[in-house]
Amino acid sequence: MAGVDVGEGGGRGKRAVSADINLVPFIDLLFVTLAFLLITAVWTTNSRINANAEVPGDPGPNPPPPERTLHVHVSSESFTLAWRSGSVVESETTVARAAGDKQLIALREAIQKEYANRGVHRHPDDGETDRLVLHTPNDLPFSEIVNVMDAAASTKREMRTGAQVAMVPAFTSTFAVR
């Protein structure tokens, strides 16, 4: 038991100055707090992966030239990465699908390479991001869509926000609805 010892006391038969502090309630309180915090702790946190469905507005009488976008076609055999400006296909790369995480690593590296070679918005002062359009078969499981979006989000670039430069995803994903 803990004690507070300040010597022999006042003498002359008075009560001793040294006193024992009962630590049992304190330990009980700590235990209860610890148990509460452990029970209510969030061990699996949910996160979000972003997509964007913004449709370009009316271009007006003098429409700007169409911006280069990366189209990712997902099929059962491969991922096809194609840079397009409007309807013109500028380049095309195919990544073969494989079992397990290998295909995702290959896809991630391929997207990073494509961005390094042909990405449009790369300067830190550029507040825009490149667009990635996802073409999927209708029966593709949602987990596979998220895998491709995750691979796209792994490509990061610097972007100035105020006085600071932050690393942000280089692509904004969206879906081809046709």
Partner 1 sequence: MADRYQNNREHNPHAHVIHKPGRRLMHKIPLRFVWRKVHGMGARSPNANLNLTAYIDFLLVTVIFLLTTFNASGQISVPKEITLPTAENAEDVIDAPIVSLDGNQVFVDGQYAGSAKSVEDRLGRIDELFAALKTRRENWKTLQPNKPFPGVVILQIDQETKAVVVKSVFQTAAYAGYPNVSFMVTKGK
Q: Does 22 bind partner 1 (CB under 8 A)?
A: no
CB of 90 to partner 1, least distance (A): 26
Distance between CA atoms of residues 107 and 96, nearest Å: 9
The candidate with the shortest Cα–Cα distance to 151, out of 53, 72, 61, is 72
The candidate with the shortest Cα–Cα distance to 134, out of 76, 66, 69, is 69
11: which residues sit within 8 A by CB, 6+ positions away? Answer: none
Residue corresponding to tokens 């076609």 = 73
CB closer to partner 1, 12 vs 65:
12
Q: Does 136 bind partner 1 (CB under 8 A)?
A: yes
For partner 1, the binding residue among 7, 25, 46, 56 (CB under 8 A) is: 46
Task: Write the Ramachandran bin of 60: left for phi over 0, alpha for psi from -120 to 50, otherwise beta.
Answer: left
Q: Does 103 bind partner 1 (CB under 8 A)?
A: no
CB of 144 to partner 1, least distance (A): 8
Distance between CA atoms of residues 117 and 72, nearest Å: 16
Q: Does 41 bind partner 1 (CB under 8 A)?
A: yes
Query: Binding-site residue total for partner 1 (CB under 8 A)?
Result: 44
Residues that bind partner 1 (CB under 8 A): 1-2, 23, 26-27, 30-31, 33-34, 37-38, 40-42, 44-55, 136-143, 145-147, 149-150, 153-154, 169, 175, 177
